[in-house]
Amino acid sequence: MERPYIICHMLTSLDGKIIGDYLEEGRAAYFRDLYEKIHERYECKAWMCGRVTLEEHFTFGHQLDLTQDNMESIPRTDYVANKEAKGYAIAVDPSGKLGWSKDHITDDYGLGDHIIEVLTEQVSDAYLSHLQKLGISYIFGGKERINFTVVVEKLKDLFSIDELMLEGGGFLNGSLLNEGLIDELSLILVPIADGASNSVTLFETSSFLNKPKPVNFILKEVEKLDDGGLWMKYITKRD
């Protein structure tokens, strides 16, 4: 089955950290701003983030108060609320924790993009009902674990998404790397070493993932940024 071309777009410190105190340094603001500008430059109609990233930047930890009493069971089948959207924000939220209150992103970043939740079948009926009421689309990636190959094929098939920007965090990036789904890496290198040893890096693995085999990339473009930064475009080397 066909799938979108997937570009992982990220910003890191010299020591590969995607979060940390280095982002609070005065110089980092320029690079954060550039991250958004390069995102726009790609003109992709869809972007994907993990639950932790979305909670931090979009739902701000808002918790839903959903009652389960006398809930009718909702079939675990994909729900397409809008297949004509100009843009899509794809939320990887396996058990349905994100406290959305609208069917689209309201922030400047992705303003108006229609939300598609990526779930497992473990999600509650109450959460599915909440998504349907708001008009948020959802797709299932598996019973207990998400198979991202299945997910991206559904994004192409159900929403005609041809290009997808994968935008963190490290656990989500690692999941797609693991399945050989990253075609391109767009990396902004901030000329600061964070120094922390326990913060999240570009590609992470966890107990629910196997350690991926090393993945080779080929440098296609490099641009010197102001203040000593770099933007690098790598393409995945396929054998």
Taking CB under 6 A as the criterion, the residue among 4, 50, 110, 229 binding ligand NAP is 50
Taking CB under 6 A as the criterion, the residue among 6, 18, 90, 105 binding ligand NAP is 18
To the nearest whole angstrom, how small is the minimum distance from the Cβ of residue 145 to ligand NAP?
Answer: 6
To the nearest whole angstrom, how small is the minimum distance from the Cβ of residue 32 to ligand NAP?
Answer: 8
**Residue 105 makes contact with ligand NAP by CB under 6 A:** no
To the nearest whole angstrom, how small is the minimum distance from the Cβ of residue 4 to ligand NAP?
Answer: 18
**DSSP string computed for 175-194:** HHHHTT---EEEEEEPS---
**Residue 91 makes contact with ligand NAP by CB under 6 A:** no
To the nearest whole angstrom, how small is the minimum distance from the Cβ of residue 101 to ligand NAP?
Answer: 18
Taking CB under 6 A as the criterion, the residue among 175, 182, 186, 234 binding ligand NAP is 175
Binding to ligand NAP (CB under 6 A) within 202-221 occurs at: 204, 208-209
Give me the torsion for CA of 177, 179, 180, 183, rounded to 10°.
-60
* Binding-site size, ligand NAP (CB under 6 A): 28
Taking CB under 6 A as the criterion, the residue among 6, 7, 8, 10 binding ligand NAP is 10
**Residue 233 makes contact with ligand NAP by CB under 6 A:** no
**Residue 27 makes contact with ligand NAP by CB under 6 A:** no
Binding to ligand NAP (CB under 6 A) within 56-75 occurs at: 56
Q: Give the footprint of ligand NAP on this chain (CB under 6 A).
A: 10-11, 18-19, 49-53, 56, 92-95, 97, 145-146, 167-172, 175, 200, 204, 208-209
